[in-house]
């Protein structure tokens, strides 16, 4: 943890130019050398990031775990996840950035968002030779399309190419996992709830506040969250608050009271009890433990 750090540095994609394509693809070696010290310091993004390492060697840290990089390791970095590159600048591969607005809200987008980017405990995957070969064809297609920015359908081709790329990766990762079925509009409502949660988790909103914003009943929202991710609405809200608390405890020097305030708690002692109920340790004990 860096001394005197009061915040986790967050980077954005075309924030000042929303009219620009909310997508970028870079050669990983070029990107790593240009980003240098910034990428090696703990940071987060307001967009999604895919990092494909071609070769074995080194490590990459995501939130609270450090992963050993093996050949054809792919990392799916979700919004707000805190990650760091190691000191090695000699890495080969691809790095892709995109915002939610790059995709439209439909079944495929929900599928992608809540599968490949919904494994915060294990964002690292090793793809097989066949998947790497097919994925490379989509990468090459996207790179070629970047030279046609002023041509008809450019954005659609980029969007569909990225979707195809992600589906190929998800197809390999699925294995025996349960597939999300799109038989109703529940997944869309769930996506709306998740977006509202990202916007408001620091405001201390209750389940009832979210159902008012969604204009549905609490019973309906609970039914939806249980159906889509097999969790209660309150559990999803708590998990989002707790993971942010853990990040602030690990990556900043903020006092416990300051963290409580940032997360919408007016009473520090209540925040301490809340954290301990969900994590098992008090914030102070947790911070001391992870710093050892």
Residue 93 lies in a domain: yes
Instruction: Please tell me which residue, 276 or 113, carries the higher pLDDT value.
Output: 276
Q: Are residues 118 and 140 in the same domain?
A: yes
Give the domain range for residue 95: 9-174
Of 1-5, 15-19, 203-207, minimum mean pLDDT range: 1-5
Find tokens 């969007």 and name the residue: 159
Q: Quick one: 271 and 226 in the same domain? A: yes
Give every strand in the sheet of 83-85, ordered side by side. 9-11, 43-45, 83-85, 59-62, 65-68
Q: Are residues 20 and 59 in the same domain?
A: yes
Q: Are 120 and 243 in contact (CB under 8 A)?
A: yes
Task: Give the total number of structural domains in the chain.
Answer: 2
Measure the CA–CA gap between 122 and 86, rounded to whole angstroms.
Answer: 18
Average pLDDT estimate for 97-112: 68
CA distance 65 to 249: 15
Rounded to two decimals, the pTM is: 0.85
What is the average pLDDT across 272-291?
94
Q: Quick one: 14 and 84 in the same domain?
A: yes
DSSP secondary structure string, 224-285? HHHHHHS--HHHHHHHHHHHHHHHHHHH----HHHHHHHTT-S-HHHHHHHHHHHHSS-HHH
In a domain, 200, yes or no: yes
Mean pLDDT of 176-181: 50
């Amino acid at each position: 943890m860096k001394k005197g750090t009061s915040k986790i540095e967050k980077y954005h994609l075309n924030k000042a130019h929303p009219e620009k394509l909310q997508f970028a693809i870079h050669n990983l070696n070029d990107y790593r050398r240009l980003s240098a010290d910034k990428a090696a310091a703990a940071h987060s993004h307001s967009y999604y990031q895919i990092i494909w390492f071609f070769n074995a060697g080194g490590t990459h840290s995501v939130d609270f775990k450090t992963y050993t990089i093996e050949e054809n390791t792919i990392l799916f970095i979700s919004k707000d996840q805190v990650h760091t590159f190691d000191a090695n600048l000699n890495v080969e591969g691809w790095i892709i950035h995109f915002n939610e607005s790059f995709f439209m809200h439909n079944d495929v987008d929900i599928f992608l968002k809540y599968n490949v980017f919904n494994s915060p405990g294990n964002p690292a995957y090793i793809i097989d030779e066949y998947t790497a070969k097919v994925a490379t064809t989509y990468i090459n297609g996207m790179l070629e399309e970047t030279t046609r920015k002023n041509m008809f359908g450019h954005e659609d081709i980029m969007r569909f190419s990225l979707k195809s790329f992600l589906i190929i990766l998800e197809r390999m990762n699925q294995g025996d996992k349960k597939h999300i079925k799109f038989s109703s509009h529940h997944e869309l409502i769930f996506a709306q709830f998740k977006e509202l949660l990202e916007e408001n988790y620091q405001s201390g909103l209750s389940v009832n506040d979210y159902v008012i914003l969604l204009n549905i009943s609490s019973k309906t929202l609970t039914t939806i969250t249980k159906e889509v991710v097999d969790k209660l609405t309150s559990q999803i809200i708590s998990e989002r608050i707790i993971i942010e608390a853990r990040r602030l405890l690990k990556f900043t020097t903020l006092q416990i009271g300051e963290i409580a305030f940032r997360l919408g708690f007016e009473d520090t002692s209540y925040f301490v009890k809340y954290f301990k109920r969900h994590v098992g340790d008090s914030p102070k004990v947790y911070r001391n433990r992870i710093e050892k």
